[in-house]
Structure 1
Amino acid sequence: MRFTPIFACIFVSLASIAIRAAEPPTEWIDPDTGHRVVRLSREPGTASLYFHQNSYSPDGKKLIVTTTNGIATIDLATRAIEPVVSERVSLIVAGRKSGLVYYAKRVARETTKADGTKEMVTDNVIFAPHHDTKVTREIAKLPRGGIASINADETLMLGSYVDGDAGIFARDGGNGRQGQGGRHPHHRISRG
């Protein structure tokens, strides 16, 4: 049998029907509880923050989520999805008062060592765009460590760092031995 353009069109049409059939509904009634369930995201990989991290705009009308492309808001009334940050970053929390969306991003920069040689180092930079205006401020540049949370009035950040050149203590999942992360081939830890 010879492959013709008409068969290609039929194949593409059938494939698109199969994809649409596999997509879950936007609303349904849970058979066990009788509760209405509403699917807010249309993009696979969309996730909300963990339950103890604020993920709502100050007025409660928008939910801040991570997507495979960055950070977005979902309008809870209209279900409209709007990008806030269009690159892969680490979402920390949504500010309860300001409407800022705090996130961390690894940023490489060149520095000069004491002996005059240049080297590339990576800072963990904290940024905060407003969820509506998208105006972004750089909050802090951390040469090591990271920020895990922001206090309720958004005046303090909570984080941690390794003091000195202690390395990272890790357990090798393969053999159970312990050692310094990143210093032995069996104990590599991704720092990015």
Structure 2
Amino acid sequence: MKLLSTVALLFATVLCLHAQEVLETGGKKMPDEWIDQDTKHRIIKLTRLEGRSNLSFYFHNNPFIGNSMVFYSSNKNNVDSVRKQEISTVISGNRQIHLLDLKTLKTEQLTYHRLPMNGEIVDNKKGIVYYQIRDTVFSVNAKTKEVKQVFVFPADFKGTVTAINADGTLLGGAKSSDEEKELFKKYPNKSSYFNIIYEAKLPRTLFTINVKTKELDKVHSDSAWLNHVQFSSTDPNLLMFCHEGPWHKVNRIWTIDVKTKKITQIHKRIMDMEIAGHEWPSVDGQTIWYDLQQPRSTKFYVEGHNVNTGAKTKYELQRDEWSIHFNSNKDNSLFCGDGGDAGQVARAKDGMWIYLFKPDGDKFTATRLVNMKHHNYRLEPNVHFSPDGKWVIFRANFEGIENVYAVEL
């Protein structure tokens, strides 16, 4: 009986594979599901809102509420009609927050605003999404759709929120100077402003906002370019931030206890041209992972720093396997990466793939999941593991418009 069950399962799997078209990924409009002809992995288009630009969250921002995913959608072709009690129309092209059920692929629009918003902040325990419009922070309840005004920045402190802590009590972010904002306006391209902002050494301040009491706490100020503000996945008081700038010039990764104000350096460069960055906290909160190159563009690793013991875990990977961003699953047994084109720091000759990595001693064993040769890497794919750990979710423009996809592991 066991043999018959196994045969039946294999037969059902073969039928399922034959039901999907085996296609080259991208370069044309794709069906809702297909098998990548180069990797033999199944890909599903998650966002099926035609004529819209649909984007998933940045790699270190958790977009999931249960088995649903928060994403942004911008209407490029027409003006939407929305609920009269809120506003009469949404300006074409203005992105709004949507919720996608990963089982049914049903989408719901959660916000209806005229003005541009920013912030990819999800309290997944309470099902609340936070975002900012100008000087005001709002929240929307993913279940009830109730929108609330959370906080208005005072005139003398115009900050930007980017994170929520593990118990949903504190928002975190950074405040820049007016001089820095003017430099960004004058030099809008990253190739221009990255060195300029770094060399300017203008003041920045890390802050928290108590969601309940509305108390604003300025937790740390420096002349460094403080950026990439993230809270620990499990410790509500631990805030991670970076010293932004050219990576070979900075010791980038730091944490601060927002109660005691104790600052800890996570990684210190040990050689000329070493770089470490695009850091993210593990799901269990025990490890801070980051892209490490010793030196830049030569030897490639993903390294982890245990926040309790300081112990390091280091996995080597090959040049073509280097990715703009990496991510990890719930127990750090698998990692994923979004690859990169030849113009990225690795100068990879064949790096345009979505990757799955499995630790094997001190190295990664890589599996290619999606051929991204038709993707323009000016849009970073920003990989996430799905809540059930069976898919890697990413964004791409290989059909000519931005959408969110999932590839089966």
- Normalization by structure 2: what TM-score? 0.31
Counterpart contact for 1:64–1:73, Cα < 8 Å: yes
Partner of residue 34, structure 1: 40
Partner of residue 319, structure 2: none
Matches within 5 A, 1:34-183: 34-43=40-49, 44-57=52-65, 59=66, 61-68=67-74, 69-87=95-113, 88-106=116-134, 124-143=135-154, 144-162=158-176, 166=179, 168=181, 170=183, 172-173=186-187
Partner of residue 11, structure 1: none
Q: State how far apart, in whole Å, the 2-side matches of 1:30 and 1:92 are.
A: 30
Structure 1 position 141, deviation (Å): 0.8
Counterpart contact for 2:63–2:120, Cα < 8 Å: no
Counterpart contact for 1:92–1:104, Cα < 8 Å: no
Give identity over the alignment, percent.
Answer: 29
Larger Cα-atom Rg = 1
Counterpart contact for 1:71–1:91, Cα < 8 Å: no
SS in 2 for 1:32: coil
Counterpart contact for 1:74–1:80, Cα < 8 Å: yes
Higher RCO (CA 8 Å, separation ≥ 6 residues)? 2
Pair 1:32–1:23, CA change in 2 (3 A): closer
Counterpart contact for 2:33–2:42, Cα < 8 Å: yes
Question: What is the aligned-residue RMSD (CA, Å)?
Answer: 2.6
- Normalization by structure 1: what TM-score? 0.63
Structure 1 position 152, deviation (Å): 1.5
Give the letter aligned to residue 55 of structure 1: P
Stretches of 4+ aligned residues off by more than 4 angstroms: 171-174, 176-180
Q: State how far apart, in whole Å, the 1-side matches of 2:46 and 2:180 are.
A: 42
Gapped regions of structure 1 (runs ≥ 5)? 1-21, 107-123, 181-192
Give deviations 1:97-150, integer Å, cap 9, x for gaps: 1100111112xxxxxxxxxxxxxxxxx111111112101222111131211111
Counterpart contact for 2:96–2:109, Cα < 8 Å: yes
Gapped regions of structure 2 (runs ≥ 5)? 1-27, 75-94, 201-409
Structure 1 position 159, deviation (Å): 1.2
Structure 1 position 167, deviation (Å): 5.4
